[in-house]
């Protein structure tokens, strides 16, 4: 358990930077490519993921001692599916306004591999509170990633940001199409890696000096 000597702040930032689900772990690329056509989608999807990740991490870290190690993955899937269904039903029944914009995103979450991964890597081995912090960090990391991709695609594809007209024209309609998601994610990953390289090089140089 490497995470034991880390502070809560470290765990939180870990999800956003070091282990960003989209740019560093390259997990759940399907929604990142398919849905991130504008910033608003990213925010809504992020909220939905944050909620489900939070609830699933809580459940798994509470019952971790009773899960048979051989069937842990089906158990995670079931947990996530249960929470997604519950969220979907409750939203549809009692928050119709939120459901209108969130509905389709909530149902997609069942197939998100990084939630399962987080349950297996973190929630299964750690107490309840660090698991929750990790869930929040991961959720925000995903939300910010989706917003970044969505922002680029929205500006480049439709000339708007958050629905407001900024450029007044459409630079490249291509960015709205699903295939452009791969390009944007790829470039952003490259930027992430480059920044990390530069950061590490400077750190090493400082240590040597």
Partner 1 sequence: MKEIVKITIGLTLTCLIAAGIMGGVFIITAKAKKHNEYLNFKENMLTLLGYNQTNPAPDSLQLCTVYRYLIYQGDKTALGYVLPVKAKDTHDIRYQFIRVNIQGQFIDQFDLNIDTAQSNDSNDREKAIASVLPKDVNQLIFADRFIVATNDNKRLAYLLPGKTPGFKTHINFMLALDSKYAIVGLQVLEHQEDPGLGAEIEQEYFKNQFTGKDSERLKTLKVIKEPIPDEQLKFLEKAKWANNAYSKNDIQTLQKKYQDKDICAITGATISSVAVLNGVKNVVTKFVYRVKILENIIAKQNISVAF
Task: Catalog residues that contact partner 1 under the rule CB under 8 A.
Answer: 37-38, 67-68, 70-71, 74-75, 78-79, 81-82, 85-86, 89-90, 92-94, 96, 99-100, 157-158, 170, 173, 176-178
Residue 155, CB half-sphere, CA atoms under 13 Å: how many? 9
Q: What stretch of H or E contains 144?
A: helix 128-158
Q: How many CB atoms lie within 10 A of CB 24?
A: 18
How would DSSP label each residue in 19-34? T-TTTTS---HHHHHH
- Residue (26 or 71) nearer to partner 1, CB: 71
Cβ atoms < 10 Å from Cβ of 206? 8
Nearer to partner 1 by Cβ, of 67 and 128: the residue is 67
Closest separation in Å from C-beta 49 to partner 1: 20
CA proximity to 59, closest of 137, 118, 139 = 118
Residue 129 vs 182, nearer CB to partner 1? 182
Looking at the Cβ atoms of 55 and 133, the one nearer to partner 1 is: 55
Distance CA 146, CA 161 (A): 14
* 20/38 with CB nearer partner 1: 38
Closest separation in Å from C-beta 19 to partner 1 = 28
Q: How far is the CB of 93 from partner 1 (least distance, A)?
A: 4
As measured in angstroms, the least distance from the Cβ of 48 to partner 1 is: 17
Shortest gap between Cβ of 106 and partner 1 (angstroms)?
13
The total of other beta-carbon atoms located within 10 Å of residue 40's CB is: 15
Q: What is the rounded distance in angstroms from the CA atom of residue 64 to the CA atom of residue 137?
A: 21
């Amino acid at each position: 358990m490497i995470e034991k000597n880390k502070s809560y702040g470290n765990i939180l930032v870990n999800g956003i930077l070091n282990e960003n689900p989209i740019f560093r772990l390259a997990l759940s690329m399907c929604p990142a490519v398919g849905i991130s056509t504008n910033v608003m989608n990213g925010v809504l999807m992020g909220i939905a993921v944050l909620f489900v990740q939070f609830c699933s991490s809580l459940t798994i870290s509470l019952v971790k001692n009773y899960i048979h190690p051989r069937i842990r993955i089906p158990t995670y899937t079931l947990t996530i599916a249960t929470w997604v269904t519950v969220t979907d039903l409750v939203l549809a029944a009692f928050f119709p306004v939120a459901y209108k914009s969130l509905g389709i995103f909530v149902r997609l979450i069942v197939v998100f591999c990084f939630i399962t991964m987080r349950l297996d890597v973190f929630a299964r081995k750690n107490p309840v509170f660090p698991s929750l912090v990790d869930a929040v960090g991961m959720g925000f990391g995903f939300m910010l990633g989706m917003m970044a991709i969505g922002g680029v695609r929205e500006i480049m594809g439709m000339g708007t940001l958050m629905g407001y007209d900024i450029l007044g024209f459409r630079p490249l309609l291509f960015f709205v199409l699903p295939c452009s998601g791969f390009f944007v994610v790829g470039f952003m990953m490259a930027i992430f890696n480059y920044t990390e390289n530069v950061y590490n090089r400077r750190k090493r140089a400082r240590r040597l000096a």
